[in-house]
Amino acid sequence: MSSDTATSTGRAPTVFVPSSEALATVLAPGARPPRPSPLSASLTFSWRALLKIKHVPEQLFDVTAFPIIMVLMFTYLFGGALADSPRDYLQFFLPGIMVTSVVMITMYTGVGLNTDIEKGVFDRFRTLPVWRPAALVGMIVGDVLRYVLAALVILTVGLVLGFRPDGGVVGVLAGIGLLVVFSFAFSWVWTFFGLILRSEKSVMGVSMMVLFPLTFLSNVFVDPSTMPGWLQAFVKANPITHLVSSVRAAMAGTTDASAMMWIALWSAAFILVFGPLTMHRYNRR
């Protein structure tokens, strides 16, 4: 800003002087509006999540670049060894890596919540007379959009590399839908950890410790029938295995009813256990 523009326009430097008239206008109490419904409050909080993506687009790196790297890396690393060609492997592998990537990024829900609390914004939210879970529900709804975005990125890369699902558009969308529903439920695990752990780093640490075994010790990369018995037992109980089976089936145009049932049970369990635990911590602090 040059000094001559200031003189030519005659503009005074912008020093704020509180004016009592202006303050009087904003301080005149109007009628208090009725408190918003739980849905409206949650949607407002998810609007906040969208605004954050708009202002800090770098945060989408996790849901775009990371999944692309995962698909490329494993397709070409394992493709030749595990199937006749990377392209053949991709038909089996793509739903699995989609599940892995999306489930991995659910941990950022916990990291984000932890950062928010550290900064102090949640103090304001917690003094508002709104439905208590709204701030967290809204946050997770915002994250769900990131999950959808990650799934679509992976699908696009897969299609480019030669993934040709038999289930067509409907099957693929059904698969992504299952994945997103499960991830929404699973995110409540991380809101809980985001509230009880000390720092962003420890949330990351705990998340990785849980997510690595959960995603790798499953049917994502290989058929479990080649594994030793004890490991097969774990893999069969692993919710990620059920999720991958049902997404794979949906994308192939079939239905894996028992896997679907397990996914419904696991999702309900995550919400029913970690939802109240999270809210208990949230209110108790």
Residues engaged in binding another protein (CB under 8 A): 14-20, 22-30, 32-36, 40-41, 44-45, 47-48, 51-52, 55-56, 117-121, 123-130, 134, 196-198, 284-285
Residue 93 near residue 171 (C-beta atoms within 8 A): no
CB-nearer residue toward another protein: 55 or 223: 55
CA-to-CA distance for 157 and 264, rounded, in angstroms?
Answer: 28
CB of 138 to another protein, least distance (A): 10
Q: How far apart are CA 47 and CA 53, in angstroms?
A: 10
In angstroms, give the least distance from the CB of 152 to another protein. Answer: 24
**Closer residue to another protein in complex, CB, 55/228:** 55
Alpha-carbon dihedral angle through residues 110, 112, 115, 120, given to the nearest 10 degrees? -110
CB-CB contact of 188 with 271 (8 Å): yes
**Between 145 and 196, CB nearer to another protein:** 196
- 3-state secondary structure at position 222: coil
Q: How far is the CB of 189 from another protein (least distance, A)?
A: 17
Comparing CB distances to another protein, the nearer of 236 and 285 is 285
* Nearer of residues 41 and 214 to another protein, judged by Cβ: 41
Residue with Cβ nearer another protein (40 or 254): 40
* Contact in structure between 187 and 143 (CB atoms under 8 Å): yes
> Which residues in 10-45 are b (16+ Cβ under 10 Å) and which e?
eeeeeeeeeeeeeeeeeeeeeeeeeebeeeebbbeb
Task: Tell me whether residue 199 or residue 232 sits nearer to another protein (CB atom).
Answer: 199
- What's the rounded Cα separation, in Å, for the pair 261 and 235? 17
The nearest distance, CB 191 to another protein, in angstroms, is 14
Helix axis angle for 200-216 and 168-196, nearest 10°, is 140
Nearest to 246 by CA among 265, 233, 227: 265
From residue 248, alpha-carbon distances to 142, 171, 239, 283 in Å are: 26, 9, 14, 40
Cα(99)–Cα(116) distance, integer angstroms: 27
Q: How far is the CB of 258 from another protein (least distance, A)?
A: 40
Cβ closer to another protein: 185 or 203? 203
Give min distance, CB of 198 to another protein, in A. Answer: 5
